[in-house]
Every structure is written in C-alpha cells, then in structure tokens.
Amino acid sequence: MTALSSVAVVGLGYIGLPTAVSLATGGLEVIGVDVNAGIVERVNRGETPFAEPDLSVAVSGAVAMGRLRAQQEMPQADAYVIAVPTPFAGDHQADLSYVTAAAEAVAGVLRGGEVIVLESTAPPGTTRRVSELIAARRPDLHLPHVPDVPPDVHVAHCPERVLPGRIMIEIATNDRVIGGLTPACAARAVELYRTFCHGELIVTDAASAEMVKLAENAYRDVNIAFANELSLICQRLGLDVWEIRQMANHHPRVDILRPGPGVGGHCVAVDPWFIVAAAPDLARLTATARAVNDHMPAHTAEQIVATSRRFRDPRIACLGLAFKADVGDMRESPAVDITARVAAALPEVKIHVAEPHAPGLPGRLGEFGNVVLTDAEHAIADSDVIALLVDHSCFRAVKKTQLAGKVVYDTRGMWA
Ligand SMILES: NC(=O)c1ccc[n+]([C@@H]2O[C@H](COP(=O)([O-])OP(=O)(O)OC[C@H]3O[C@@H](n4cnc5c(N)ncnc54)[C@H](O)[C@@H]3O)[C@@H](O)[C@H]2O)c1
C-alpha cells in the first residue's frame, strides 16, 4: 500500500475547511472541493468564508505555501474526506442527498487504492451505503462492504467532535473514533488522521463509529432537556432553578446542566433525530428530550411577550442571536427563533437586538420592520424588557445599574 500524499476534502464548511488546512499543515497536498463557487474563490484567495479563531491565518498560510487549493470539480487524489451537510428532512429523517452527491462524484474519479472517509455525522449504515453507492457507479472496482474479496478502495467513518470557537485546537488534540467497513479500512484511515491528529485514535467498525457520534449529541440533548424541564417546573412552583441547581450539584455524583432558551446549532438539535429514526419504538427518551428542547423557544417568547404587555409602550432588547456563547453561528439558533416570535407577536413594538459576533441580522429577522440591530449598551438603555438569550462573555460586563428599573429575562442565568 502506497503512502498517502494527496487528499481531497469534499465540503469546505465549518468542519471541512479546518480539516483541509490541518491536513495541509500535516504535510499533505490538499485539494478542497466545494459546490459553492464563492467559497472556492475565497479559499483560493487565502480567505475564510466564516469566522473561527486561528483558521484565517492557517488558510492563508497553506494557500500561500501551495499546500491547499480549492476547486468545484472532483480531483483524483489518494484520499477523500467527505464533510458535507447532513440535515434532517421535514419528517426528521436524515437528508443524505449531499452525501450521495459527494460519493457519486468521488466514484467517478477513482483509480483504485484510495481511502474514502465520511466525516459527516450520519445514521448508522451510511458509510456502508457510501460504499454501495460507489460500487453501483463503479462495477470495475471491489468495494469493502462485499466480504471475502480484497477491496480496491477503503471506506471508513471518522466523526468530528470539535467545539466551534476552539476548532483549530481541538481538531489537532481531540481523541477520534475511526470506524472502518473492515479493519484494513480503519487502518488506512488512521494513517490519514495521524498526519495531524495528536489525540488517541480509537478504532472500531463503521456503524459503531456512526452511533458513537449520535450518542454523544443525544447525551447532551437529553441532559439539557432535563435542565430545561426542571426550569419549567421550578417556574410554575415559584422556585429559583439556579439556586436549586447549584444546591443539587453539591451532591458528589450530580451535575445538572444549565437550563436555557432551547438547543440550536447543526449537531445537538439534529443528530438525536437520527437515533429516533433508526429505532422509533425504542428511542422514547431521546424523542422526548427533542420535544422538550424544541418547545423552549416558543415558551421563552411567550414569557417575553406576556411580560412586555404589562407596559403601555414597551421596548424590548434581545441580547444574542447565535446558537451558543461566543460564536457568530446562527444556524438553528433558538435566540433567532425567539426574537422572530416576539417580533411577530408584537409588530408595533421596537425590538433592539445585539449580536456582537455577527455582522448583520439573519435573513429571517431582516423581514421584520420592528427589529433593529444595535450594540448591547444601546439596546439595554433604550428598552424596558431585557431578554438575555445567549451567554456571550461580553454580556457579563453589563452592570447592575444598567439593568436597574428594567424587567430582566435572563434565560442563561448569567446575571443570576
Ligand atoms: N459544525 C460543527 O460544529 C460540526 C461538528 C461535528 C460534526 N459536524 C458535521 O459535519 C458535517 C458538515 O457540517 P458543517 O458544519 O461543516 O457544514 P457546512 O454547511 O458548514 O459546510 C458544508 C459545505 O459542503 C458544501 N457542499 C454541499 N454539498 C456538496 C457536494 N456535493 N460537494 C462538495 N461540497 C458540497 C457546502 O457548499 C458547504 O460549503 C455535517 O454532517 C455536520 O453534522 C459539524
């Protein structure tokens, strides 16, 4: 088996681009592939299409050194890393159309001897499906899902578990689970990841690796749902959930997470559905946790609207739009959902929005004439009702005197 020297990373998003640049830094020739011409152009100019600490300097360096380039066409390479989106469709079933398109494009250029790694989070069985898809397109090649025939191409799954905001550090240091369709497939993928990953590389089969990733996010979702449910119960009973949580967590084996306005982002709010879809009759807790967390934005918006109606001419500040603290990513963000619900319920009320990590309002909020983007200081000063929706570190600097005389709805317990 020859050493790997070139790799195509398919999908240059939040995961693919950091992976591409890390592989380039690890010494490989990297070709980034994306269907989006704008992203390809930006990467080739040494720019990043989204903000992530340390990514920009790494991309400009790798492009300048000739180790990373981007293009729309699928190239021939020794290895392929597929990092395309895996959203769910309306019925909460995984939408694997991006994975299918990427796999078919890779199939068209294979020569034999390559390793293909699916990084996209996917339901159990998807890596095998990738192998089957390629086999259907390339009857001249042996793929590893067929037993007892030495494969011409290796196929594996290596899910990603980086934290946005720390991607460039964690991509190099986190432990990784690598699941091969065969042990030889896993070994070939280990060879690829060893070039830049200094964490432990844990080897398993592909379906187990797929399930590990889903289990990680479902675990987070279920535990957040418990905290959210507790906050609703405490609210009804007139108890302070933050105090209850703090006291309960003195128990040496209890660690209740912080409640909040809901769960967003591309992972925790999405991946548990893949478990539910795989075993709907068994995944009762997982499905209920999703329902609890999905209900939180509507509940939070109702509370803000009800509080605001107590004022004759209310003005509202919504602090934070991102799906989590200290990032600008607004995908599936409960804060955006809450702000939109409040703006729709109170069309005559001005909503001041402060999101220091984003350059502008997301499209969904741009439609409302009563939503204006400003900074936190002005938003607070000009409002009667202050809704803290995201616990960005900068909001910690808000002084008690700034909030005096206002109704504060602190969904993250930051000022509790
Ligand atoms: N963002 C995260 O923090 C994170 C963490 C762990 C796992 N994941 C998983 O990683 C995968 C990618 O997520 P992301 O956040 O990087 O998505 P993203 O939307 O940021 O990027 C995906 C990129 O793929 C491109 N693309 C789509 N179809 C393509 C195709 N056929 N060929 C080439 N390019 C194509 C898109 O243009 C886009 O640039 C998903 O499965 C996601 O669940 C994401």
Among candidate residues 334, 266, 341, 277, the one with its CA nearest the CA of residue 305: 341
Q: Give the β-pairing of 115-118 and 79-82.
A: parallel
Please, are residues 152 and 112 in contact by the beta-carbon 8 Å criterion? yes
pTM comes to 0.92
What digits encode the pLDDT tens for the residues 303-324? Answer: 999 999 999 999 999 999 999 9
User: What does the mean pLDDT of the chain come to?
Assistant: 96
Of all residues in the chain, the percent with pLDDT exceeding 70 is 100
Position 197 scores a pLDDT of 97
178 CB within 6 A, ligand 1: no
Domain ranges of the chain: 6-199, 216-410
85 alpha carbon – ligand 1 mean position (Å): 4
Q: Does pLDDT of 281 surpass 90? A: yes
Q: Are 6-199 and 216-410 equal in CATH topology?
A: yes
The number of the ligand 1 atom at minimal distance from the alpha carbon of 164 is 3
DSSP for 282-330, please give it. T-HHHHHHHHHHHHHHHHHHHHHHHHHTTSSS--EEEE--SSSTT----
329 alpha carbon – ligand 1 mean position (Å): 13
Q: Does pLDDT of 104 surpass 70? A: yes
Catalytic positions are 213, 267
Position 134 scores a pLDDT of 98
Give me the architecture of the 6-199 domain, per CATH.
3-Layer(aba) Sandwich (3.40)
270 alpha carbon – ligand 1 mean position (Å): 13
231 CB within 6 A, ligand 1: no
256 to each of 78, 131, 326, 402, how far by Cα in Å?
A: 46, 41, 22, 30
161 to each of 198, 329, 410, how far by Cα in Å?
A: 14, 16, 29
Residue 49: helix, strand or coil by DSSP? coil
Position 51 scores a pLDDT of 85
Range 165-190 average pLDDT:
97
Range 37-41 average pLDDT:
98
Position 265 scores a pLDDT of 87
Range 84-113 average pLDDT:
95
The number of the ligand 1 atom at minimal distance from the alpha carbon of 39 is 39
Q: Please tell me the CATH code under which domain 216-410 is placed.
A: 3.40.50.720
The number of the ligand 1 atom at minimal distance from the alpha carbon of 267 is 43
217 CB within 6 A, ligand 1: no
Position 1 scores a pLDDT of 67
What digits encode the pLDDT tens for the residues 354-391? Answer: 999 988 999 999 999 999 999 999 999 999 999 999 99
